[in-house]
A = this chain, B = another copy of it.
């Protein structure tokens, strides 16, 4: 069992620890993530880009909440379902969409894989596919901050399935020994591709894993963006002050398949329906409306504005070409070492 278990109480604006504007920003990021994600799904189905797409619809709060309020130099260590972290960290939309389109304007120039969103200018590490990879590398960033005596922090994201990996253990173990400035966000969406969480670990609450490392672990409702933000912000503050890491497990759910080519027929329809009722975006809306910060017209105006932003960014990417084939030779090494080229 996790050390504490919280359910969403209705906090007043003061409890949230955010101004009205702050709360509005948090919500805007949440909504933008949702709209962008659904748009990218649609564009995939329309065959507008190659590869596949990993939707995070249903679990936006788990990435938006912790990221909101971070500094530019703070590091995000994402996996494959963290589009919300990029959005909230302020990565331009054409850069995010560019990555998915894998064109010339993609930060990786089309080299890696769609959904591997990274952007150095905002401290977002480009993920590799090997799960928990960025948990390990991100922990190394935190080690770096500590050695450099900087007061920056790292927020590392991963799914519950990724906690089975040995490298994940080695990273958290190290962070525990050295009290590194890092916050670990475990998005427990109950499934790792087709494997249920019950076949991923002999425990129910993945926050319990923190007990092996000597730092706090908490399990919270991952569909409550305000709770997500508040819990993470506290942990980030702790980390920034040198008090060490926190593992936050957030219970959530992905609405669609593992990627767009997965019908997800290993799940029960009922399970999905239940979770859809806990939609993190609707929930935030209701909360904001209850507080009187949001109104339906205001919301509609916001949707309109975001949609236009997305339209414009998609346009940019649609116009872009792929790189030239010879681009394959670049970025293997620094300019000190040219790559050997065979002529065939």
Contact = CB atoms under 8 A, between A and B. Distances in A.
Contact of A211 (B167, B175, B200, B211): B211
A177 interface: yes
A271 B180 CA distance: 29
Given A165-B170, A212-B212, 16 more contacts: A164-B170, A164-B173, A166-B170, A169-B170, A173-B201, A176-B201, A176-B202, A177-B200, A177-B202, A202-B214, A202-B215, A203-B212, A208-B211, A208-B212, A209-B212, A211-B211
Contacts of A68: none
Interface range, A side: 20 to 34
A117 interface: no
Copies, count: 2
A168 interface: yes
- Leading 6 A-B pairs by shortest Cβ distance: A166-B166, A176-B202, A202-B214, A169-B169, A209-B212, A203-B214
Interface of A: 164-170, 173, 175-177, 179, 198-203, 208-209, 211-215, 244
Contacts of A176: 201-203
A212 B173 CA distance: 12
A177 B199 contact: yes
A173 B44 CA distance: 37
Contact of A167 (B166, B199, B201, B209): B166
A261 to B, nearest CB: 28
A134 to B, nearest CB: 15
